[in-house]
Amino acid sequence: MNGLLASGLIAAPLLAIPTALAAMPFEKSIEISKDAVAHEWPFSVDRGDLSCFIFAQTRLVFFREPDTNDPDWFIKDIPYRTPRSVIVSTNPLEIFASLEDADLFLPFDSDFAVLIKRLAPFVVMGQALCEELLAEKEGADAGGEDD
């Protein structure tokens, strides 16, 4: 019963969204590094990908550490280590969703104001990625209508 209820709660909001948007997530990423940005670096690794992910008209910005797994991990029967990722936001509730991989942030001694200050410029960069992604999508949609 709980599974059915959860499925209904998840599916109900999607009913109001056009099928094409609900079915297709959109993502745009850029590689960033500690040495290449002028802002205080908030992450515990020196480089990674900053991504905008749009699904069902919701925008989320993520930082993902590089994938350091051997490309032939499956063939060589080596365990795969999933790269960590965190939500990049100035909203503490969204940041809480990333607590599993919170060690990807530099230590902030439980002071979210410090973390939010560090993340703010990266939120702006991520939202700019979202705007570019939406413009590209709209351009592709408009181009498809001329055919």
Taking a C-beta distance cutoff of 8 angstroms, is the pair 20, 26 a contact?
no
Question: CB count, 10 Å around CB of 87?
Answer: 20
Tokens linked to 110:
């439980």
| Cα–Cα distance for residue pair 112/94, rounded to 1 Å | 12
Nearest 5°: CA angle at 103, between 86 and 67?
60
Taking a C-beta distance cutoff of 8 angstroms, is the pair 98, 112 a contact?
no
What confidence tens digit (pLDDT) does each residue in 106-115 have?
Answer: 998 878 899 9
The residue assigned the tokens 């919701």 is 58
The Cβ-side half-sphere exposure at 102, using a 13 Å CA radius, reads: 13
Taking a C-beta distance cutoff of 8 angstroms, is the pair 49, 31 a contact?
yes
Q: Quote the pLDDT of residue 12.
A: 37
Q: Is the dihedral of CA 43, 48, 53, 59 positive or negative?
A: positive
What confidence tens digit (pLDDT) does each residue in 111-143 have?
Answer: 889 999 999 999 999 999 999 988 887 777 666
Q: What integer is the mean pLDDT of 1-26?
A: 44
